Chain A
């Protein structure tokens, strides 16, 4: 392999509490997570010279976040593209470190979406807007769930995909969640009604939220956050844990156009760039951390990342193929329990990097034996309209 190994994830932390009961702020979650991730790496605040921030701690974050942390970084990147922002941050950190502009990059996330009772999925959207796209879309009463449901409806129409096939994604994720004590605690704290492994029948018989998506195909709304520390090879060699190398990155956006195909996401553009840089294919991945806002998000992205051909995802996922203890080749999906059953405070992208790193360190609660390669793919915005894709390929030391 001719991969460039010029930056590595050396520290991670996932904030364990999913319901802070309004007693902790997003900024406090970010700072706490940053300190724990730096400790995980064996580094200190003073080692950080680059900050990446999606604005979740408030406006003008590039101006304010360094002061809050008490740092003097010389690289400040505030790319904000929704839930995939952290894949973009990892890509930019790698680029900045490779260019010699930084040695230790800090990515943080904090959100109190649950405590704020912010109805992300079915809440009020629309009304007068000064952005032209929103000003055309806002009168129809689209909920976030129905936006993704329209992708599922078209996927079913074009390729014959079924609700039972989509349910495979929900049940594999829940299986992994039940093995992760923090995910089980999250479901208890968020008052899930029936906390157990699920079956395809459980999913397709759960309440319809927006046809054809059922309740158990929709992610939770939690509080939470986390942090990731990325370092140069020289720094990484002296860190406490083995480095997890960033070996490929890709970015893309997609939006509605006359005649466009809603069943293909921006991942179809970002993934070949990331895999190309790594000199690898999807088939070689042990782990797939894919943003599971909804079942259809994963189905679409498994195809767009190249695990199978477009339209063949339904057959491909069948028979428990995505489980950590799967009998056949192919990646284990969202081994932390995912956004569906472990952690979704609104922008889940950072957890994709964190769990992929755990797997390549051998630290997951649903560990895949000998896992060496992982893809973390984030989706931001809304899949059924305008959205962002960030693909990161990770390799063990």
Chain B
């Protein structure tokens, strides 16, 4: 059995993907970056090169504070993924950052995921460290 099969890891993003590479590069400095248009002020997330609110604006990178809340969530009881199958039950959630971006992530650090997570719950960003990038996860405040 290969090393990879023995110790399955979280699926990690591709750091070379051209729209999102700046986001993932910044995670190594523990910065959650998002974009806002300097002309129409629309917040754009996931990252792109073009503003989706107007045709003339330039997107400017900003750094989020890390304050966030649960928009919605589910507790996964069954997964066949080699990494996540050993994590059940775990929490996946759409999480709203204070500045506007909504990201799919995990709520971590709860003793009982079935009872300790709720919509509207306040969260703080926390980084899970990997070699080429850090993963943004969220812990109840």
Which residues of A are interface residues toward B (Cβ below 8 A)?
A: 119, 122-133, 135-143, 145-147, 149-151, 153-154, 157, 207-213, 256-260, 262, 384-385
Contact = CB atoms under 8 A, between A and B. Distances in A.
Contacts of B18: 132
B127 interface: no
A208 B104 CA distance: 21
A212 B76 CA distance: 10
A91 B48 CA distance: 32
B105 A140 contact: yes
B72 to A, nearest CB: 4
Contact of A125 (B45, B71, B81): B81
Contacts of A127: 11-12
A140 B17 contact: no
Interface in B33-80: 43, 45-48, 71-80
Contacts of B72: 150-151, 153-154, 157, 262, 384
Contacts of B84: 141
Nearest to B43: A258
Chain A interface helix/strand/loop/mixed? loop
Contacts of B105: 139-140
A131 B75 CA distance: 26
A141 B76 contact: yes
Contacts of A128: 11-14
B124 interface: no
Contact of A122 (B43, B45, B80): B80
Contacts of A139: 10-13, 105, 135
A396 B135 CA distance: 55
A191 to B, nearest CB: 17
A256 B94 contact: yes
29 contacts: A119-B80, A122-B78, A122-B79, A122-B80, A123-B81, A124-B82, A129-B17, A130-B17, A132-B47, A135-B17, A135-B19, A135-B20, A136-B20, A136-B47, A139-B12, A139-B105, A141-B106, A142-B92, A147-B74, A154-B72, A207-B77, A208-B75, A209-B77, A210-B76, A211-B74, A258-B43, A258-B45, A262-B72, A384-B72
Given A256-B104, A258-B43, A384-B72, 6 more contacts: A126-B11, A136-B104, A149-B74, A157-B119, A209-B78, A211-B75
